[in-house]
Structure 1
Amino acid sequence: MTNTTAKAQLLDLLIEPLKGCKGLYAHRQNLMQRVMRMPDLEVRDHLDRLRASHFPGT
């Protein structure tokens, strides 16, 4: 997985529970900026933990 793909997947997992909420666009922009500034290893660590919590046992 490329670094860009990992960051896009992390952003998708972070935004998923917020879909339909008022003010999502501004929050999404903030999350996108924070994720893009993260080091690649930190992104992959967050992604692994979120996947484990969303899809236990996989």
Structure 2
Amino acid sequence: MSLTAVIIILLCLGVIVSGILLLKQSAKKFNLTEQQLKEIKARNRQLEKEEQQEK
């Protein structure tokens, strides 16, 4: 393998790894309030009822 091919491969690997690390660093959990959690649960129950009616 030539030196240029090795440099290109290392550069590509560096770009991929840095992209993955950036995604991992920027990912964060949602901090939901109690009201938001209640609304989500109510919406899920409503969707489940609609799905059961369709069957």
- What is the TM-score when the length of structure 1 is the normalising length? 0.30
Larger relative contact order, structure 1 or 2 (CA cutoff 8 Å, min sep 6): 1
Larger radius of gyration: 2
- What is the TM-score when the length of structure 2 is the normalising length? 0.31
**Greater fraction of residues in helix:** 2
